[in-house]
Amino acid sequence: MRRVFFGLCAVVAIAMAHSVAAQSVRTEQITVHSQALEGNLEGNSPDRSVTVYLPPDYDKDSQKRYPVLYALHGYSINSVIWSKEIKTPQTIEGAYAAGIPGLIIVLPSAQTLHNGSMYSNSVTTGDWETFIAADLVAYIDSHYRTLAQRESRGLAGHSMGGYGTVRIGMKHPEVFSVLYAMSPCCLSARGAPSPEEGLALEAVKTPEEAKSLGFFVRATLAVSSAWSPNPNNPPFYIDLPTKDGVAQPDVIARWAANAPISMVHQYIPNMRRYAAIAFDVGDRDGLKTDTKALSDTLTAYHIANTFELYDGDHVSGVADRFQNHVLPFFAKHLSFAPVKQ
């Protein structure tokens, strides 16, 4: 009986300890102004909502500094919905309970008029590359106790965020040192929609009408805003991939120029600078072929990277992956101390 009693006491003590640890992960909802996003033709606000998670001991040692992980969400959502998909802060607390050291984790919102920035640079949507790699990083470094060095910064993302991770990672190895792309979308050249979908897109004249479009059709508006902007073509300031339902090769070529599987060859020296690169994707996710192809391309250039195909579809495993794979990966490869220059 005494053994049972003390056993129950131990269980209660562990539960209470976990509860205390959970409460000590501080969540801050902040707004970051981005000069890079000012004046975009879509009218996307340059004041962006950002969720910041501070590690359990952040308030205990005023001298301690931390690495930072920037985690990018997918299309059609924002940072708040993204946090629910990856079940933060609970998954962060779970990773800490498993023994990883403390990180500052940053989730910026990149939702736009057409539901996604593609983390690209466009006069129509704004310069989202610079927002992430410069404005956001500068803000976090100036407002939190970070290790303000590339060796202590990581970039991750899922779906559109995985695309953003690869795109921004290719261009900014001076900012980040570790990359992890989860089920990245849009890696290969995107083709034109069907004639029927093209005509439906061409008929849309207002943002309210755009909201009635299906998921993938509306995503074409987001892609057009990011990759085929046209400042002289109101009301959306884009070039669509069809005209009268017929594919427009010049627009499709502009889209293809933004496909990482094609882009990566010109950024090989940059990719060699990363301390670690990882990809994962579910075995029932249609994006698995392109993800493996990009991993294989890096391998062909003798750039070390890991690729993992797991049991799941596009969204079924993201919370588990974030807690048990993504966070430990960054804990292993980021620097937790100042690096001598």
pLDDT at 125: 98
Whether 60 has a pLDDT exceeding 50, the answer reads yes
Side-by-side strand order, sheet with 306-310: 26-33, 47-54, 104-108, 68-72, 153-158, 178-182, 276-282, 306-310
Q: What is the pLDDT of residues 126-166, one digit of tens each?
A: 999 999 999 999 999 999 999 999 999 999 999 999 999 99
CA distance 105 to 269: 28
pLDDT at 14: 34
Q: Which residues are registered as beta bridge partners of 118?
A: none
* Helical packing angle, 195-203 and 215-227, nearest 10°: 70
HSE of 129, CA atoms in CB hemisphere, 13 A = 16
Closest CA to 67 of 156, 166, 160: 156
Using CA atoms of 195, 199, 200, 202 in order, give the dihedral in degrees to the nearest 10: 140
Whether 58 has a pLDDT exceeding 90, the answer reads yes
pLDDT at 216: 87
Q: What is the pLDDT of residues 74-97, one digit of tens each?
A: 999 999 999 999 999 999 999 999
Provide mean pLDDT across the span 40-54.
98
Q: What is the pLDDT of residues 180-233, one digit of tens each?
A: 999 999 999 999 999 999 999 999 999 999 988 888 899 999 999 999 999 999
pLDDT at 24: 81
pLDDT at 12: 33
Provide mean pLDDT across the span 36-55.
98
DSSP state of 325: I
Is the Cβ–Cβ distance between 158 and 318 less than 8 Å?
A: yes
User: CA triplet 180, 186, 188: central angle to 5 degrees?
Assistant: 105
Q: Is 5 left (phi over 0), alpha (psi -120 to 50) or beta?
A: alpha
Average pLDDT of the chain, as a whole number: 93
Is the Cβ–Cβ distance between 275 and 175 less than 8 Å?
A: no
pLDDT at 16: 33
Q: What is the pLDDT of residues 8-23, one digit of tens each?
A: 333 333 333 343 334 4
pLDDT at 341: 72
Q: What is the pLDDT of residues 269-321, one digit of tens each?
A: 999 999 999 999 999 999 999 999 999 999 999 999 999 999 999 999 999 99
CA distance 79 to 73: 6
